[in-house]
Amino acid sequence: MAGAPPSCCLVAFPPRAKDGLVVFGKNSARPRDEVQEVVYFPAADHEPGSKVECTYISIDQVPKTHAIVISRPAWLWGAEMGANEHGVCIANEAINAREPAAETEALLGMDLVRLGLERGSTAKDALDVIVALLEEHGQGGNYYEDPASCHSFQSAYLIVDPEEAWVLETVGKYWAAEKITEGVKCICSQLSLTTKIDAEHPELRSYAQSQGWWTGEDEFNFSEVFSPADDHPHCCAGKDSLEKQEESITVQTMMDVLRDKASGVCIDSESFLTTASAVSVLPQSRSSPCIHYFTGTPDPSRSIFKPFIFVEDVKLVPKVQSPCFGDDDPAKKEPRFQEKPDRRHELYKAHEWARAVIASDQEQGRKLRKTMLDLEKQGLEAMEEILASAEPPDPAEVGDLFYDCVDTEIKFFK
């Protein structure tokens, strides 16, 4: 059983997070050469009886889906992380469990992230959506664009809104969840729920007993019961990093933690790379907008976080969207993945030059990185002004915010 990619999802609640803000972050560790795109989908109404085509299977569509913005591997339908217009953010983790994940094509964990965002107007709503779909359709299929072997995993989710977060961990169709309303929480590529379980599959414990994994006499500890026998729980590096912060946690703190290679939060290994990152700030006061920052490029230590705000007319950003191959996409044809098309988008290509310059670590690389961080800082300061203002932002000004930031970044690299 191959190890799950070592991604990291984090959330901090007030008062650990500053100014009454909930701060959410995710580093997406994926195969090194995989491209992620950032895509906005407006809210939509759907015909009765219509279907939605997910990565591998089609399922019934709902009458209405919310507006969402997601970061996703460009070959699949779902998402590694994202947010919706109601201030719900979801990120997932691939995990290994005692029960191997199904290779049979079903819903991917990443499909369930997107479905939760499209259909849930609160964190708890999104959790209910995910577990109902898990029960109905199951999870399974290849997590990577790899024709040689099937890499399948169980899934964990961090589901956050301005009021609360839920950690949801799944094994097949069975699941357990914990509600979080304070402090900091991190999920990584191992099961983390123990004895505090606030919601669970009705047959979870009887299933564990039927498999001989739990006697029914000891206290029920989810990760002890369902983790692989050879799994040695390690402390989540992200949680360590956040808890070490002496001052209140801000958007900048979260970005700094996601950029930290020494701690292992930012992955750059032989097999895996942090291929995209996201940070969201969710004000507990409903008068302020939620702000979502995406890199759309690999390695946050060499990338710029760019802000996005939901308004009526969001300008689409084709420069951070991968080419579309339609029905000819090797991910959609069976047998799958017989070819690997070039999925790089315009921002990714421009950023490849920047990464090469910074990696060479000469004077030019240091100057380039400083200029990139200065560019990011301007965006952060502008967003702080929006959060501090008593007036809601002008939709005409923020509708093309993400577009303008991507455009500026590409021009700067060129």
| Phi, psi dihedral angles at 79 (to 5 degrees) | -150, 150
Burial call 239-249: b when 16+ CB within 10 Å, e when fewer: bebbeebeeeb
Q: Is 9 a catalytic site residue? A: yes
**Whole-angstrom distance, CA of residue 25 vs CA of residue 293:** 9
**DSSP for 200-258, written as a single string:** E-TTHHHHHHHTTS--SSSPP-HHHHHS-TT------HHHHHHHH--SPB-HHHHHHHH
Cβ neighbours of residue 404 closer than 8 Å, sequence gap 6 or more: none
Contact 72, 66 (CB under 8 A): no
**Whole-angstrom distance, CA of residue 373 vs CA of residue 193:** 36
**DSSP for 69-128, written as a single string:** EEEEETTSSS-SEEEETTS-EEEEEEE--SSPPP-S--B-HHHHHHHHHHH-SSHHHHHH
Chain centroid to CA 118: 14
Q: Residue 75: what residue type?
A: W
Catalytic residue among 8, 9, 150, 290: 9
Q: Which residues pair with 176 in a beta bridge?
A: 169, 200
**Whole-angstrom distance, CA of residue 284 vs CA of residue 164:** 10
The residues annotated with a catalytic role in the active site are: 9
